[in-house]
Structure 1
Amino acid sequence: MERCNVCKNPPALERRVNNEGLVFCSDGCYETFDGSPHDHGHPYIDAYDAVRWAFISCLNTYAPAGSKEEKRVLQERIEAALEEFADYEGLGGEDGVFSREIYQYLMGLEELWDEIDLVW
């Protein structure tokens, strides 16, 4: 079972990784980890952060009992994220740690879109 490299808690929804693939349960633990390399220069870091937060936000926003309008708006947000990061989906997660993470978040967004579609 994966554990946070700082607090040793199991990572949940707000997990993040660094460019070495080390897992953290939150941004707070990520920022306090002393042994991590500086990820801010990585070419995929901005996309990783954006897709990660889009996924977390959409998942936290989704309410199965919500109105059709709320579900439609959420699906539009998901579609926008999927379109914006379509190039990363084409990589299939095969271009390093952040590529793999981005791909997993995109797959998660697609699954959420499908789930919303099923409850209409």
Structure 2
Amino acid sequence: MGKFSERGHQGGVLWGVKGQPTVLQEANVRVDLNREWVSHWPFAPTDHRSQFTPKRVTIETPAGEVVEQLDEPRDSFAGYVMETPWSNAQVAYFAGYTMWTYLTSPFILARPGVLTDEIEPWAERLGDGCA
């Protein structure tokens, strides 16, 4: 397995609450299917890109010059509340770990050694009384 890319629209109330309503609104995402690594670009309103790993996040120019760096990014959220704004590197961390999980899950489940068993069917009752 290699890398996987997608072009996406990321929206929702969270980005505005964090002071970053449009930074990843229209962005490309590239994930590594073998290790926890993600890149988003453009990091609006610039043409910068992010590089995410669990231990380090950077925001870089297209030439690879680091303009913002955050080591041990998870630790940077200590003491934050819902209304605490995020830096670009913190946005890159959150978006990186979430998109890596979302986009790699189908591939991870197809790896050798992953076993599944079918369970008994489950019927849900819908609100109108139909099953």
Q: TM-score, normalised by structure 1?
A: 0.33
Select the structure of larger CA radius of gyration.
2
- Structure holding more strand per residue: 2
Structure possessing the higher relative contact order (Cα contacts under 8 Å, 6 or more residues apart): 1
Q: What TM-score, normalized by structure 2, do the two folds share?
A: 0.31
